[in-house]
Amino acid sequence: MNHRLMLSLAALLVFPWSGYAGEEKQVEHVKKADNGEKERKQAEEVEGKKKEAKQEQKLTWREKREQLREEVHVKLAEKVPEKTVADALGLEYPADTPEKTPEELEELVDDAVEVQVEKAFPLSIRDQYEKEAKEAIQLWTVGEEVTIQVGGPRPREVEGVLRAIGQDVIRISDQTIPVVDLDKETKAHLYEDDREELREKYVRVKMNKLFYQRSQYANEIEPNIRERLYRDNGYVQVRGNWYPTGVVIQKVTEARRAKLHDTVEAEVFTANGFVRHNDQWIPRSDAELLTVMEKARETEDTKVAAAMLEAAIKKHVDASNVNAAKALLRRLKRGAVRSPAEMPPLPPEVGEEDLKNLRERLFGK
């Protein structure tokens, strides 16, 4: 038998589970690889957070303030969504931008009103009025029985047969009547020119009445037509004026957010270490140090002012205005050798202006 073959058989007889043990080692190796991958990912996450923290630290407080202002806008949008406002107003959301301008809609309103007015009070009725005038005002002929009203010095009613029609007088039966004593209606039955004038007057009076009726009716129906057209085209009426629905929702939303703005702003900035100082949001440490600096400038005793400011600098060493505070402290210390009370009396000839200049040189403005 081959020597190598005999060794292989001997190995199998002595170590019957060696194959299984190898599999266990492979599984263990895989587990270790999985754990290593998890650890690597966790390390990357930690490193990423560190980078974000470093990037955050690089921001100046003014840049941070701008970020917080954006956060305020986001929170206001969350507290007062446009959709909620639209629902409260009973308006559709989102609102489409109107396709027609107010000028175009006004033209549509005028056209729609004109159609309705023409339907109710048509201008074509003028033909009927002219026909009525023609039928109502006919010329009298000689030999026809007539009744007229005569004016002049002897007003009276004359009835009889029309005998003659002259330029200056007419005859009815046996009476001669001057034309100047006749009214327009009577002359319209005697002379063609007067008849045409009276017919025109009749039509004119009728048409003036029609125009008045059309105007009144237009004023009556116009508001309803305008409201229908504007609403159908995406507009909303506010205090007598029409605005796109989206604009109304936006403006009302802005107004409601404005009422909450100061409260939300205070919550956001205060939570991030800012305080309100001279109408500006600045870091709390900057504000406290700035307050001490202002007080130090107002304190006459420079020794007291310097001590007060030095303590504040130690407390707020991370404030962004600490260098300005240190510069002020150096000036105070240079002037703190002598306080105003310790200065020797001035000669009589030194005036108030000289005293002011001297103190400014010693203690600063």
Tokens of 62: 């003014």
How far apart, in whole angstroms, are the C-alpha atoms of residue 169 and residue 181? 9
Q: In this model, does residue 314 exceed pLDDT 80?
A: yes
Kindly state whether residue 36 falls inside one of the protein's structural domains.
Answer: no
**What is the pLDDT, as a whole number, of residue 1?**
46
How far apart, in whole angstroms, are the C-alpha atoms of residue 232 and residue 98? 10
Q: Are 359 and 352 in contact (CB under 8 A)?
A: no
How far apart, in whole angstroms, are the C-alpha atoms of residue 292 and residue 322? 11
pTM: 0.56
> For residue 296, what are the domain limits?
277-363
Which region among 15-19, 40-44, 192-196, 301-305 has the lowest average model confidence (pLDDT)? 15-19
Kindly state whether residue 198 falls inside one of the protein's structural domains.
Answer: no
Kindly state whether residue 91 falls inside one of the protein's structural domains.
Answer: no
**What is the pLDDT, as a whole number, of residue 333?**
86
Q: Give me the residues paired with residue 170 across strands.
A: 165, 177
Q: In this model, does residue 40 exceed pLDDT 70?
A: yes
- The confidence band for 137, taking pLDDT boundaries of 50, 70 and 90, is confident
**What is the pLDDT, as a whole number, of residue 253?**
96
Q: In this model, does residue 346 exceed pLDDT 70?
A: no
**Average pLDDT score over the chain:** 83
Kindly state whether residue 262 falls inside one of the protein's structural domains.
Answer: no
Using only the alpha carbons of the chain, give its radius of gyration: 53
Mean pLDDT of the 177-196 span: 89
Q: In this model, does residue 321 exceed pLDDT 90?
A: no
Which region among 40-44, 118-122, 189-193 has the lowest average model confidence (pLDDT)? 40-44
| Residue of 187, 160, 186 whose CA lies nearest to 174 | 160
SS3 326: helix
How far apart, in whole angstroms, are the C-alpha atoms of residue 172 and residue 165? 9
Kindly state whether residue 193 falls inside one of the protein's structural domains.
Answer: no
Percentage of residues in the chain having pLDDT higher than 90: 52
Amino acid at position 329, single letter: L
Mean pLDDT of the 59-85 span: 94
Kindly state whether residue 292 falls inside one of the protein's structural domains.
Answer: yes
Is 177 or 32 the better-scoring residue by pLDDT? 177
What's the Cα-to-Cα distance from 238 to each of 57, 221, 316, rounded to whole Å?
A: 49, 20, 54
- The confidence band for 10, taking pLDDT boundaries of 50, 70 and 90, is very low
Q: In this model, does residue 119 exceed pLDDT 60?
A: yes
How far apart, in whole angstroms, are the C-alpha atoms of residue 74 and residue 65? 14
Is 14 or 158 the better-scoring residue by pLDDT? 158
**What is the pLDDT, as a whole number, of residue 73?**
96
How far apart, in whole angstroms, are the C-alpha atoms of residue 340 and residue 275? 35
Mean pLDDT of the 221-245 span: 95
Q: Could you write out the DSSP letters of every residue in 91-146?
A: --SSPPPPSS-HHHHHHHHHHHHHHHHHHHS-GGGHHHHHHHHHHHS----TT-EE
Percentage of residues in the chain having pLDDT higher than 70: 78
Q: Are 188 and 198 in contact (CB under 8 A)?
A: yes
Give the length of the chain. Answer: 365
Amino acid at position 65, single letter: R
**What is the pLDDT, as a whole number, of residue 4?**
46
Q: In this model, does residue 355 exceed pLDDT 60?
A: no
| Residue of 200, 224, 213, 216 whose CA lies nearest to 123 | 213
Q: In this model, does residue 270 exceed pLDDT 60?
A: yes
**What is the pLDDT, as a whole number, of residue 28?**
60
Q: In this model, does residue 347 exceed pLDDT 90?
A: no
Q: In this model, does residue 33 exceed pLDDT 80?
A: no
How far apart, in whole angstroms, are the C-alpha atoms of residue 202 and residue 136? 10
Q: In this model, does residue 31 exceed pLDDT 70?
A: no
Kindly state whether residue 131 falls inside one of the protein's structural domains.
Answer: no
Kindly state whether residue 253 falls inside one of the protein's structural domains.
Answer: no
Is 32 or 219 the better-scoring residue by pLDDT? 219
Q: Report the domain count for the chain.
A: 1
How far apart, in whole angstroms, are the C-alpha atoms of residue 339 and residue 248? 65
